[in-house]
Amino acid sequence: MNKRNFYSALVIMLLMVASCQKKEEKKVAPEGLKDVFKSSFLIGTALNGNQIQERDSIENALIALEFNSVTPENVMKSMLIHPQKDTFNFELPDKLVALAEKNGMHIQGHTLVWHSQLSPFFKEITDSTEMVEVLTDHINTIVGRYKGKIDAWDVVNEALNDDGTLRKTVFLDVLGEDYLSLAFNLAQKVDPNVELYYNDYSMTNPNKRAGAIKMIKRMQELGTKVDGIGMQGHWGLESPSLEEIEESIVQYSDLGIQVAITELDISVIPMPWDFTGADVNVKFESGDPTMNPYPEKLPDSIQTKLADRYADIFKLFLKHQEKISRVTLWGVNDGNTWKNNWPINGRSDYPLLFDRNNQKKKAYHSVVALKSDSEE
């Protein structure tokens, strides 16, 4: 082979190698949270109506990349999905299911029975026979429509007071405490394969935890299928303590059920008058600027505190990953978190892993680093 042919062959070979490298690079997809934690638990988010309708291409891509579980923030609550006794509205729930199926996502239905955002006609029922009939129709119709498509349901939401007693609702008033078993049994009968959860906030509170355990044990004694408890993670930078979170995960798991961390957001702004909980019906009026300390931007020092808090919490989740089925962030980014307007309108909070421009925050990187460090 002469020199000219040699160099020609060499150039061709180098071009082929470069082409192969480019093809390999194309095959390497970017990793999201769902990929980082794929061996530990599902990573979910709550979607609002605009996100379900895929109106923002940047958010669409972020949701598909980062999460493998979705929960509807509002569109499956009874006042929207079943606004009148003889009327159901499935337009947005159907779009949610289609979005999840397109992206291969787990779907958490939210929620079948809840005293808040409740269809008005439920509140008018005083006869137990009528309530059973209406509740049966409600659950049969909704669960039946999505049988085999929705993977799990928050069957009953927030049925407990902070002291662990059952909350006074129309369901408790008309049917008594076993309305919970009735709701779970109805859902299980319609879709025997769907997972059934009880979901509530302040589930690290010792009194509420004791009430929840008592409630689940009673349902189990009645032969009711309960697959898991959803611990809403509407937490702050310092409270609840890691010890309280861990003790709760362990005690709920000891019931023989899964634990899901639901509605996770870490607030960085103060609560008025030391109010605790996550009751959406609670509202305060305040012109005190200390209640809205970061109206435009979160200081770097607080970004660091938030990152450290998320890292500590996720480290705990990884420690107990065999007990945890799913960790769901309650919102995609800081711009659409419900915390901006609760319990005081007009506040700016920064409780999630993505900022208002859908950019990864320091907290995001602190969480991802946990898995990177553990694999080294």
Angle 46-75-152 from CA coordinates, rounded to 5°: 60
Residue 143: other Cβ atoms inside 10 A: 22
Residue 1: inside a domain, yes or no? no
- The number of distinct structural domains making up the chain is 1
Q: What CATH number has the domain bearing residue 240?
A: 3.20.20.80
Would the pTM of this model clear 0.75, i.e. be above it? yes
Q: What is the pLDDT of residues 160-207, one digit of tens each?
A: 999 999 999 999 999 999 999 999 999 999 999 999 999 999 999 999
Q: Among 1-10, 179-188, 221-230, which is the least confidently predicted range?
A: 1-10
Residue 124: inside a domain, yes or no? yes
How far is 114 from 179, CA to CA, in rounded Å? 12
Residue 255: inside a domain, yes or no? yes
How far is 141 from 146, CA to CA, in rounded Å? 9
Q: What is the pLDDT of residues 110-125, one digit of tens each?
A: 999 999 999 999 999 9
Residue 116: inside a domain, yes or no? yes
Residue 10: inside a domain, yes or no? no
Predicted pLDDT of residue 115: 97
Q: What is the pLDDT of residues 32-63, one digit of tens each?
A: 999 999 999 999 999 999 999 999 999 999 99
Q: What is the pLDDT of residues 319-338, one digit of tens each?
A: 999 999 999 999 999 999 99
Within 13 Å, how many C-alpha atoms sit on residue 262's CB side? 30
Residue 16: inside a domain, yes or no? no
Domain range for residue 159? 40-375
List, by residue number, the catalytic residues: 158, 263
pLDDT reading at 4 higher than 60: no
Within 13 Å, how many C-alpha atoms sit on residue 218's CB side? 13
Q: What is the DSSP string of 98-157?
A: HHHHHHT-EEEEEEEEESSS--HHHHT---HHHHHHHHHHHHHHHHHHTTTT--EEEEEE
**What average pLDDT is seen over the chain?**
92
Residue 289: inside a domain, yes or no? yes
Calculate the dihedral angle through the C-alpha atoms of 263, 264, 266, 269, rounding to the nearest 10 degrees.
-10
Residue 3: inside a domain, yes or no? no
H-only helix segments in the chain: 3-27, 33-36, 49-52, 57-66, 78-81, 91-103, 120-123, 128-145, 170-175, 179-190, 206-221, 242-253, 300-319, 362-375
pLDDT reading at 28 higher than 80: no
